[in-house]
Copies of this chain bind each other. A is one copy, B any other.
Amino acid sequence: MERVTIAVDAMGGDRAPAVVIEGVVDYIRENSHDDTWRITLVGKEKEIHKELKKYPHARLDRLEIVDALEEISMKEHFLSYWRKREETSIKKAIDLIKDGKALAMVSAGNTGAVMAMAKTSLGSMKSIDRPALAIKLPTLKGNSLLVDVGANIDSKPHNLVEFAVMGKVYMESVLGIQNPRIALMNVGEEEVKGNELTKTTHNMLKRLDINFVGNVEGRDVYIGEADLIVTDGFTGNVTLKVSEGVVDVMLSMLKREIMSNIFSKIGFFFLKKSLKRIKKKLDYAEYGGALLLGVNGIVIIGHGSSNAKAIKNAISLSTKFVSQKVLEKISCEIDKMHKSLKELKYV
């Protein structure tokens, strides 16, 4: 088996580089029996060395460090000059993929920055028109994947179909969810509902050989009736941000209510842990934890609030992408899909 190198952005996340290094060390410890992987930590070399000193017994022979002078903060907004920031840890980690020195990159950093830089540096996979950002949302029944949440703004029906196919391959190969239920975000459940984009997309999806369960409305997203929900990046982005807004406003209202009298203060004392657990569950949406599907490389974006375990899991996830040949499968399934669309005279 060929050797796999994973580039890890040491500077990404709210508690970087400490938790990132901790996660990497944990990954190394748990996978020492397996000689097929290497990790390249990208970030401020001095800080990385300082953190590594905390783990004197860690085996570091499978670890390399690439120095990066700059970092991008979690709060920076997307700006076009990002593509010029060659010295940032995110850009350097992505460029390791581009230069053939790594197969995947993991970052818990600024989602917008990772996405923009990866799209620019790596480019789209052959036969894929537009990459898409996929995000896992908590539902009453577990999780579902929402694609796209903002990699694109103006999408065409065939883009949404590509999102569906890429998401399906990911779910089957990596998550082990066979024949995932795929739904289309729309303003009504009936087939005739929607705008030009969703009406055409609905027609295309239902004719393809996938488990298309029809339209879902905004209120169904969190119910969990679908494993995978496709939407254009504008709507996906609004969905995500409105969700965050509602969670924030509910918690703020609750805080106000709690402070309003002694009874609710007592109640809060007993319910505190429950509320924290709920907040944490829903923060999922707030902090991302996303995949960029459709670029020439494996790009995994952890939550900004990732702890060491989340970092370790993200690295495992990236090796699973490689071992399950997800990019190759996506390529193959997309080709099949294009053939079907041609037969159905959509293209």
User: Hey, which bits of chain A sit against chain B, CB under 8 A?
Assistant: 77-78, 138-140, 150, 153-154, 185, 187-190, 194-196, 198, 217-223, 233-235, 237-250, 252-254, 257-258, 260, 263-264, 266-275, 277-278, 281-282
Q: Enumerate chain B residues within 8 angstroms of A266, measured Cβ to Cβ.
A: 267, 270
Residues of B within 8 A of A281 (CB): 253
A271 and B233 alpha carbons, distance in the complex (Å): 39
Q: A286: shortest Cβ distance to chain B, in Å?
A: 9
The answer on a CB contact under 8 Å between A222 and B249 is yes
Extra contacts besides A139-B249, A218-B242 (10): CB < 8 Å: A77-B190, A140-B252, A153-B194, A153-B195, A218-B237, A218-B239, A223-B245, A254-B278, A266-B267, A268-B271
A196 to B154, CA, bound (A): 7
Known contacts: A241-B219, A245-B222. The answer to whether A278 contacts B253 by CB under 8 A is: yes
Cα distance A154–B199 when bound, in Å? 11
Contact of A234 among B235, B244, B248, B278 (CB under 8 A): B235
Q: Which residue of B lies closest to A274 (CB)?
A: B257
CB-based closest 6 A-B pairs = A267-B270, A218-B241, A267-B271, A257-B274, A218-B242, A219-B245
Closest chain B residue to A218, Cβ basis: B241
Complex contacts, A139 vs chain B, CB 8 Å? 249
| Selected A-B contacts with CB under 8 Å, 17 pairs | A138-B249, A153-B194, A154-B195, A187-B237, A218-B245, A219-B242, A221-B242, A222-B245, A242-B243, A242-B246, A246-B282, A247-B250, A257-B275, A258-B271, A264-B274, A267-B274, A268-B271
Q: How far is the CB of A259 from chain B (nearest CB, A)?
A: 10
Q: In the assembled complex, which residues on chain B have CB atoms less than 8 Å from the CB atom of A275?
A: 254, 257
Assess whether A278 is in contact with B257, with CB atoms less than 8 Å apart. yes
Which residues of chain B have C-beta atoms less than 8 A from A235's C-beta? 234-235, 238
- The answer to whether A260 touches B242 (Cβ under 8 A) is no
Inter-chain contact A250/B252, CB cutoff 8 Å: no
One of B196, B222, B270, B278 near A263 (C-beta < 8 A): B270
Considering the chains assembled together, what is the distance between the CA atoms of A315 and B14 in angstroms? Answer: 52
Q: How far is the CB of A52 from chain B (nearest CB, A)?
A: 37
Identify the interface centre among A77, A235, A268: most chain B CB within 10 Å of its CB. A235
- Separation of A138 and B248 alpha carbons in the complex (Å): 13
Alpha-carbon distance between A218 and B286 when the two chains are bound, in angstroms = 12
Which residue in chain B gives the minimum CB-CB distance to A189?
A: B77
Are A78 and B188 in contact, CB atoms less than 8 angstroms apart? yes
Q: What chain B residues lie within 8 Å of A194 (beta carbons)?
A: 153, 234
Contacts of A218 in B (CB 8 A): 237-245
A278 to chain B, nearest CB (A): 5
A250–B237 CB distance below 8 A: no
Chain B nearest CB from A115 CB (Å) reads 13
Of B187, B217, B239, B270, which one neighbours A153 at CB under 8 angstroms? B187
A241 lies within 8 A of B270 (CB): no
CB distance from A273 to the nearest CB of B (A): 7
Q: In the complex, A153→B185 CA distance in Å?
A: 14
A270 and B264 contact, CB distance less than 8 A: yes
Chain B: minimal CB distance from A344 (Å): 24
Chain B residues whose CB sits within 8 angstroms of the CB of A241 once the complex forms:
187, 217-219
* Given A196-B154, A264-B273, A267-B269, residue A250 in contact with residue B238 (CB < 8 A): no
